[in-house]
A and B are shown apart, each in its own frame.
Chain A
Amino acid sequence: MSESRSAPAGAAAAARLESFSYDDDIVRKFLFVTILWGFVGMLVGVLIAIQMALPELNFAPFLTFGRLRPLHTNAVIFAFAGNAIFTGVYYSTQRLTKARMFSDGLSRAHFWGWQLIIVAAALTLPLGYTQAKEYAELEWPIDIMIAVVWVIFAINFIGTLIKRRERHLYVALWFYIASIITVAVLHIFNNLSMPAGPLKSYSIYAGVQDAFMQWWYGHNAVAFFLTTPFLGMMYYFMPKAAEGPVFSYKLSILHFWTLVFMYIWAGPHHLHYSSLPEWASTLGMIFSVMLWAPSWGGMINGLLTLRGGWHKVADDPILKFMVLAITGYGMSTFEGPMLSVKAVNSLSHYTDWTIAHVHSGALTWNGFFTFGMIYWLAPRLFQTELYSKKLMNTHFWIATVGIVLYIVSIYSAGVTQGLMWRAFDETGRLQYPDFVETVARLIPMYWVRVVGGTLYLVGVVMFAYNIMKTWAKRPAAYQVPVIQAAALPKAYSPEPLRPGANVPTTAFGRFMSLSFHRAWERAPILFTVLTLIAVAIASLFEIIPTFLIKSNVPTIASVKPYTPLELAGRDIYIREGCFNCHSQMIRPLRFETERYGEYSKPGEAVYEHPFLWGSRRIGPDLAREGGLKSNLWHLRHFQNPREVNAKSIMPAYTHIVENDMDFDVIQKRVDAMAMLGVPYGDAVNKAPEMARAQAQQIAADLKATGGGDGFETKEVTALIAYLQRLGRDIQTPTVARGSAGSPNTVATAPASAPSVAPGGGHP
């Protein structure tokens, strides 16, 4: 049985009514996988949270924190939130345009292609295949798949807009357009890389420029993957749930354009006090602070959509989820600009404060909005009543308590860390010179996080159970309502601006009456191009000078490329995800230079493909690691970190000690680097031989100092070679960190060089 309805249409158009139906099957598919990947992503999140507090749970090699953390972030962002976006977009776009999706085939190709990408990520990340760029870890073949599937989605979406039957593009669709176009631009440009094997590549950008591109991408992945599509969904589903129109359509237009234009500038605030040029950092901060206005415009618009209907919130868990989601968005977008202010950032950066910030936004805004949206959709898509409203309510409260426990504990951990790092005693010395002291203090807070995260996960299980039971109640066959709506006439007759007014007849008249914006609103291709221009202007004004003005990256003559063995060691460092815990960027702040040594210079990273500055410190900075400790200390540290430092929470990396080094791949990697412009000289012809020679030197030292025999063929030798090289090219005095195994004394890098000089000379 089917029913039909007529869309409002003029008498003339009524003669050309078209019948069609919506494709809800694709929406149901995306809904199911949203729940599945949400569960997986959050389960991995709980596991790595436990690993932070209980390092023995790092089951090397593929279940270690370093490899699982990107799996968690990718699963939650691209699998859970991504599929939630597609669920909301496919449902709302069809209804807002009064058109079935452009192509059922493309819809299915999008669905299965995206799931294939997720599976590929779930397999490759734990196996250590990573580009080491946050939220862009996936290797080049998967990146190509992402680009292809995204284009399929874009064609399907834009095609639907073109064949729509509703003249005006509702504001939700604007947000979808901005998301689709900007994510494509970000993904393509950030992931340009030089392949060095089937699942290995090097970023084409180096050092400062790579860091800049990464955080241009990274921040805007938050903006255009986790914010704008959800705002679009908010503008559709919030009025639905509240049963009233959006508070202010005018505000939605205003905050759309400001958000799209300003967000793209904000990325450099992730690189304050780094080697990024000062002007770029300041620009990022200013635009981040300005973002307060449009972000809160969106929040206010969402919340005030409930005007006159607040009493419904007490009784309707869906509204509770949505209200808390929007409130969480408001809190996060208040905190984000605050964290971009340099003075605040100097305390928060590298600490768990950033982690708390990300989670407060993700767990509320993305998580709760998705839950609210799916609870609203499930009865409609499954054409039956929701299994249990009581269970939905319980889910809300248990997840809310989980969020509170999570963020309170991790905010406390972050501030504790930041304050301990910068504390000086009355004699002017670091109060906590041993980094591990600042980690040990956090363990109780990490356990509270585990409890909070587990409660949130329990909520997800309740959610999944409720939706599955609802699905089980579905009728034997779904109804497929036939909709009737008039086709859009090809020629558009401008409407008067207000009843009784004349339509401007000249182009100038239309321009002066600002009806051009109205024209944009009904022209999807033009609108897409304009959005692209808004995004591109901001990007180019930052990117061009960063890449083309020489003074932004002053070179240092003594900085040379890594030797082939060091490069191989760096690849192992990347494979194991060490950059998830260790930074390689010393900020020009007194407490940093006292603890780690001379601050990092942009010229030090000119051969770093990719940059490895890190974004947090669970372990100490390694930018000046070279020469601070013996080769034997490093070996012992990988075998059992707690043997050299009882309070360490680093996983044991016994597999690196046991694995044989694959010398054959080194040549290909050196060649790829040379193609990127790294001056490798002779190494392009004899990289494996050079690597073997250097490995033998280190292995001889390990043997002589009691480490054991046979390390010249082991991976750990390459990793030691890399660590011993770090920071040595600028040869300046450094201060040892005072962690166990190294004396807390002033040392000069050349004088305290390891017993085997790393590299055996530069290539």
Chain B
Amino acid sequence: MSLTELMSGANLDGYAQVSLLLFLVAFGFVLWRVFSPRYSATYRKAAQMPLDDETPQTPRNRGE
């Protein structure tokens, strides 16, 4: 029996919905994690990261 025949006979009508459920479960976990107040301080710190890398330089012109 070929793989094509096997898949054709598997009657996978709800196959795609399984993936949707997997996603919903994963999404629920991420949601819980993200809105848990215990992580607020961590997120505040992480949000500052782009602002924490400045290397100030004085603008100069050609020849300076």
Contact = CB atoms under 8 A, between A and B. Distances in A.
A522 to B, nearest CB: 11
B22 interface: yes
Contact of B49 (A170, A283, A472, A517): A170
B24 to A, nearest CB: 10
Contacts of B30: 253-254, 257, 517
Contacts of A253: 30, 33-34
A545 B63 contact: no
Interface string A544-556: 1100111100000
B51 to A, nearest CB: 6
A168 interface: yes
Interface residues of A, number: 65
Most A CB within 10 A of own CB, among B6, B27, B57: B57
Contact of A549 (B8, B31, B63): B8
A422 interface: no
A489 interface: no
Contacts of A7: 52
B53 A384 contact: no
B17 to A, nearest CB: 9
Contact of B59 (A170, A379, A517): A379
Contacts of A166: 49
A384 B6 CA distance: 67
A310 interface: no
B46 A168 contact: yes
A168 B4 contact: no
A469 to B, nearest CB: 11
A196 to B, nearest CB: 26
B7 A549 contact: yes
A262 B52 CA distance: 32
Contacts, number: 132
Most B CB within 10 A of own CB, among A258, A475, A537: A475
A548 B55 contact: no
A525 B9 CA distance: 38
B8 A384 contact: no
A475 B61 CA distance: 5
B6 to A, nearest CB: 8
A514 B52 contact: no
A497 interface: yes
Contact of A8 (B50, B52, B55): B52
Contact of B55 (A379, A473, A481): A481
B61 A541 contact: no
A245 interface: yes
B57 A380 contact: yes
A57 B64 CA distance: 50
A189 B44 CA distance: 40
B7 A544 contact: yes
Interface string B23-64: 100110111111110110111111111111101010111111
B40 to A, nearest CB: 8
B36 to A, nearest CB: 7
A389 B23 CA distance: 47
A98 B8 CA distance: 53
A475 B64 CA distance: 6
Given A96-B53, A548-B3, A473 B26 contact: no
B1 to A, nearest CB: 12
A545 B31 contact: no
Contact of A254 (B15, B31, B38, B50): B31
A303 interface: no
A490 interface: no
B49 to A, nearest CB: 4
Q: Is chain B's binding surface mostly helix, strand, loop or mixed?
A: helix
A482 B36 CA distance: 39
Contacts of B5: 550
B11 to A, nearest CB: 10
A475 B45 CA distance: 36
A5 B55 contact: yes
Given A250-B43, A474-B62, A538-B19, A96 B12 contact: no
A674 B59 CA distance: 65
Contacts of A239: 47, 50-51
A550 B2 CA distance: 11
A549 B3 CA distance: 9
Given A170-B46, A549-B12, A476 B64 contact: yes
A172 interface: yes
A261 B46 contact: no
Contacts of B16: 279, 283, 541-542, 545
Given A383-B57, A481-B55, A514 B33 contact: yes
B27 to A, nearest CB: 6
A486 to B, nearest CB: 14
A590 B31 CA distance: 46
A249 B42 CA distance: 10
A240 interface: yes
Contacts of B62: 384, 472-476
A473 B16 CA distance: 58
Interface in A377-401: 379-380, 383-385
Contacts of B52: 7-8
A95 interface: yes
Contacts of A299: none
A565 interface: no
A479 B57 contact: yes
Contacts of B23: 261-262
Given A240-B51, A257-B27, A541-B16, A498 B61 contact: no
B42 A518 contact: yes
Contacts of B51: 239-240, 243-245
Interface string A508-539: 00000110011000000000000000100110
Contacts of A534: 26
Given A250-B35, A476-B64, A550 B53 contact: no
Contacts of A541: 15-16, 18-19
A236 interface: yes
Contacts of A95: 50, 53
A491 interface: no
Interface in A214-247: 235-237, 239-240, 243-246
Given A240-B50, A473-B61, A548 B27 contact: no
12 contacts: A172-B50, A245-B51, A249-B44, A250-B43, A254-B31, A261-B27, A384-B62, A475-B60, A475-B64, A483-B55, A518-B39, A549-B8
Given A98-B53, A171-B46, A517-B30, 15 more contacts: A8-B52, A168-B45, A168-B46, A168-B49, A249-B44, A253-B33, A254-B31, A254-B34, A261-B26, A283-B16, A475-B62, A497-B39, A537-B19, A548-B3, A550-B7
Interface of B: 3-8, 12, 15-16, 18-19, 22-23, 26-27, 29-36, 38-39, 41-53, 55, 57, 59-64
Interface of A: 3, 5, 7-8, 22, 92, 95-96, 98, 166, 168, 170-172, 235-237, 239-240, 243-246, 249-250, 253-254, 257-258, 261-262, 279, 283, 379-380, 383-385, 472-476, 479, 481, 483, 497-499, 501, 513-514, 517-518, 534, 537-538, 541-542, 544-545, 548-551
Q: Which 9 A-B pairs have the closest CB atoms?
A: A548-B7, A95-B53, A245-B47, A249-B43, A514-B33, A541-B19, A249-B47, A475-B60, A550-B8
